[in-house]
Amino acid sequence: MRKSFTPKHLLFPLFFSMLLNEGFAQIAAWNNNSLSGVTAGSINATTQDPNLNIPVLSRGSGIVATSLTGGYASSNWVDVDENGAITNNRYYQCTIAANSNYKVSLSTLNSKLRRTSTGPNAYIWRYSINGSIFTDIGTPVSFTTTTSGGDVQAQINLSTISALQNVFSGTTITLRLYAWGASG
């Protein structure tokens, strides 16, 4: 850890529940407790339904992988608002796609976030089914707690978003968590 630098971290364990052809199940999750040091690049889900392609968690080009035990940590969340975060590619991204001959419907999104005292203080989830046009899920969330173990965020109901229901193989669902408002 550099003594003269206070990183602006946001850490990210994530869980999805989806409706599959057989019914409701947790279909993808990333448990990042075992991570340590700098986790550069993307990581595969630690839990996944066998009827999915491997779900992947990655970063946008505007944030930088940083070292921290127990999390997929990043810094450089320096934008002042959502538009800046979008323009400057400051997001975490996960992709979910069904295997051939299957379809998925997203039901809920559960996340646990951890931030440093100078980390981003607001975030919003967005989704896309074509990888280029993203739509906000709800409204921006204020996030100012700094609990060392992270904080479970309010569950997001995705079952009312028609674009995320009955998504056939060949279509990748992309979810992004944009964050902004870091100081320091």
Q: Looking at residues 107-116, what average pLDDT do you find?
A: 86
pTM of the model: 0.85
What value does the mean pLDDT of the chain take? 83
Q: How far apart are CA 20 and CA 96, in angstroms?
A: 13
pLDDT at 72: 82
Mean pLDDT is highest, among 29-33, 34-38, 67-71, 81-85, for 81-85
Task: State pLDDT tens for residues 137-153.
Answer: 999 999 888 887 788 88
pLDDT at 184: 57
Q: Extract the tokens encoding 31.
A: 């448990």
